[in-house]
Amino acid sequence: MSRRHDDLDFILAQRARKRKRAARTRRRRRVGVILAVIVVAIILGATTVGIGTGVALSASCNLNTLKPVDIGQNSFVYASDGSLLGSIPAEHNREPVALARMAVWLPRATVAIEDRRFWSHGGVDYVGIARAAWADVTAGKTVEGGSTITQQLVRGLYTGREKTFSRKIKEACLAIKLARKWPRSKILDEYLNTTYYGNHAYGVEAASQTYFSRHASQLTLLQSALLAGLPQAPSVYDPFNDPKAALGRRNEVLLAMLRNRVITAKQYRGAVRVKSLGLKPGNIYTRIKQPYFFSYVTDQLIDAYGAGTVREGGLKVYTTIDPRLQRLANKAIRDILPYRTDPASAIVSVQPGTGAIRAMAAVVRNAGNQFNLAAQSARQAGSTFKTFVLASAIEQGMDPNSTYYTSAPFTCDVGPWCDPAKPWEVHTYDDTYSGSESVMRATLQSDNTVYAQLTLDVGPRYVWQMAHRLGVHLTPDKPVASIGLGSLAVSPLDMAAAYATFPAMGIYAEPMAITKVVLASGKVDTASGWGKPRTKRALSEGVAWQVTDVLRQNAEYGTGAGSGDGVHPNAGKTGTTENHADAWFDGFTRQLSTVVWMGYQQGEIPMTNVHGQEVAGATFPVPIWHEYMAAALWKRPALDFLTPDAYPTFRPLRHGDYGYLQYVSPPAPVATTPAATTTAPTTTTTTPPAPANSGPPGGQQPH
């Protein structure tokens, strides 16, 4: 038994001797490394005073051959009143600010904890290297770094973080040269604007916003100390994840400031007694106001500059959107459609003549919806498309007051636009008919049967071309017999811009969202043409005026009745698809062209029971339009619609034979709407352009 005990004692003694030898070896190795670093520092010191050539003269130690790492900086988008809409999402959050715009405590705290002799050494601090080496030896581990702020800047921007002896030599050499070339203030400014502070924040401004929701110029002593301590190990001292470690690090910075004599003992004692970090997580880089408009602007910027520049190119983007109108649009929708089960709705307002988008709002009950209903959606236009039929017919010489059609169930089965095997049957919204009536009267009643015949007489291709002329993108993009009844899909933005052509006396303006882009250099980008309206004459003044006059009467006592505020003259047209899946009111005043759309964002779902009634353009979109526009135009001057230099010249429109009309009993006499024009028609007859061979789409018949 004693033999076994002796063996065990021998084994344990051997292991203890091995551990001691290993510890001595590690200490010698550490001391050797530290001595080597000190020797390197001495050599570099000699280089600075002109002794030898060494590394300082090597080709690799040349500032002119090095390119800084592009960290990037955030791009911001602003509304027309200068308020911030949001920051375009980026991998790195960074917003450079000048040293003079930082709180005085921040650079002082940074110098105290990172490089206390920053203002006196030549880029490499030999005293600091020796001090750090001794601290590491006495602690038996790395407790203090010897790199100066200049070295850290070189490492972050030029040499990278590869841990090799040659990289250390190169880094020190470059730091010496950079210290000779740049003033100390510029080095500190660059460091504070590029160093990483954790949580995607690069630079002190992004860090200030991320941790305290304030600008770097507003930081207190305690906040500055907390930020100054983060660059050494952002994940270790992350105040969000480990407040205790962050507090300890903050107090280390305060002690360094005391030792560096930038705060008094009294200030130090008062500061370390505060146990709260005072965090206020910021959302400036994550919160986006007006998300639908914001995404529309982002898409335009990416088309112009590319995704990389937009996300990290430091652009400042100024836009046309009016925050007041945005608030009013959202309020109007929520007032009329207040329930969580209600359909979605969108409002777009465009300024006639310039195309400036003043409002682009949507209320969507599905919180996960990322689709821009206002600008990207493609929904059937319903009877709002009749306006383009009307414009086409007037352009061909039709007088809406003296041109008559029969209002009755209509079947198209003859001619190139209709298929005898699949006749196109048209009826009115409520299956009531008026017999013989003028196009003016048919517009006020939104009579599908009259407009189906008028579309065929004008030519579906002509109507299709008219829509394109007014900037409307169609889905599917082809002329069909039912195009005049709104069977093709459109977006609210396109319709608002198209309708804006009429109060602008025939001048179409492309939708404009961006007025100015300031590049990261501070220069305004004038080459891209931001802020310059892109306009063209799409209609004659006479045609635009006549269409406006018809729609004005429709807004007074047609399907758009109740849309106006009684002060500002307005015009417009309702629209409802056959299955009640989409409802519209597209209207305008002199100042604004506004479209209201309503429907379920998931798709063409019938709205047959919303607040106990079937949805049509007049039931919900008109009241939404009325509330929004009355508030939007409050205290704005009441402007009458303009009159043309030359009124349209009318001539008889030839009626074609495309099928048959059912017989209806003559309607009871009704008061005739006063004619809006006194221009006498001429007798010239024109033939509509020959249509292409195409048929109606699947029997869909919007109203």
DSSP 343-394: PEEEEEEE-TTT-BEEEEEEE-S-TT--S-TTTT--EE-GGGGHHHHHHHHH
Q: What is d(CA 152, CA 187) in angstroms, rounded to the nearest whole number?
A: 10
Asked if the peptide bond before residue 688 counts as cis, ω within 30 degrees of 0, the response is no
Q: What is d(CA 294, CA 77) in angstroms, rounded to the nearest whole number?
A: 8
Do 446 and 586 meet the contact criterion of CB atoms below 8 Å apart?
A: no
What's the distance, CA 537 to chain centroid? Answer: 30
Q: What is d(CA 480, CA 423) in angstroms, rounded to the nearest whole number?
A: 13
Token digits for 229? 């301590």
Note the pTM of the prediction, 2 decimals: 0.80
The residue assigned the tokens 């504070």 is 192
Mean pLDDT by runs of 10 across the 703 residues of the chain is 47 57 56 48 45 46 68 92 93 91 96 92 76 55 65 74 69 87 92 92 95 96 97 93 95 96 96 96 91 93 91 94 98 97 96 98 75 83 98 97 96 91 92 95 97 97 98 96 96 97 98 97 94 98 98 97 97 95 97 97 92 96 98 97 96 88 65 37 35 39 53
**Tell me, what's the pLDDT at 676?**
36
Q: What is d(CA 300, CA 160) in angstroms, rounded to the nearest whole number?
A: 35
DSSP 437-463: EEHHHHHHHT-HHHHHHHHHHH-HHHH
Q: Which residues of 663-694 are buried (b: 16+ CB within 10 A; e: fewer)?
A: ebeeeeeeeeeeebbebebeeeeeebeebeeb
To the nearest 10°, report the CA torsion of 689, 586, 444, 417.
30
**Tell me, what's the pLDDT at 128?**
63
Q: Which residues of 340-370 are buried (b: 16+ CB within 10 A; e: fewer)?
A: eebbbbbbbbbbbbbbbbbbbbbbbeeeeee
For CA atoms 529, 530, 532, 535, the dihedral sign is positive
Do 683 and 451 meet the contact criterion of CB atoms below 8 Å apart?
A: no
Token digits for 567? 């002060």
> What are the sequence ranges of the domains in the chain?
12-272, 330-661
Question: What residues have CB less than 8 Å from 504, skipping those under 6 apart?
Answer: 352, 353, 544
Q: What is d(CA 437, CA 599) in angstroms, rounded to the nearest whole number?
A: 32
Q: What is d(CA 589, CA 570) in angstroms, rounded to the nearest whole number?
A: 5
Token digits for 621? 């979109």
Q: What is d(CA 682, CA 703) in angstroms, rounded to the nearest whole number?
A: 32
**Tell me, what's the pLDDT at 698?**
38
Q: 330-661, which class in CATH?
A: alpha beta
Supply φ then ψ for residue 419, to 5 degrees: -105, 120
Q: What angle do CA 97, 103, 106 make, to 5 degrees?
A: 90
**Tell me, what's the pLDDT at 126?**
75
**Tell me, what's the pLDDT at 695?**
40
Q: What angle do CA 653, 654, 656 make, to 5 degrees?
A: 135
Question: What residues have CB less than 8 Å from 456, skipping those under 6 apart?
Answer: 412, 415, 417, 481, 656, 658
**Tell me, what's the pLDDT at 92?**
86
Q: Is 12-272 a domain of CATH 1.10.3810.10? A: yes
The residue assigned the tokens 């980026």 is 90
297 CB-contact burial (10 Å; exposed 0-12 / middle 13-18 / buried 19+): buried
Q: What is d(CA 310, CA 300) in angstroms, rounded to the nearest whole number?
A: 10
Alpha helices in 148-242 (DSSP H): 149-154, 165-181, 184-194, 204-212, 221-228
% helix / strand / coil in the chain, to the nearest 5? 40, 15, 45
How many CB atoms within 10 Å of residue 519?
14
Nearest to 587 by CA among 566, 569, 600, 567: 569
C-alpha count within 13 angstroms, C-beta hemisphere, residue 263: 28
The residue assigned the tokens 């006549």 is 546
Q: Assign 152 to helix, strand or coil.
A: helix
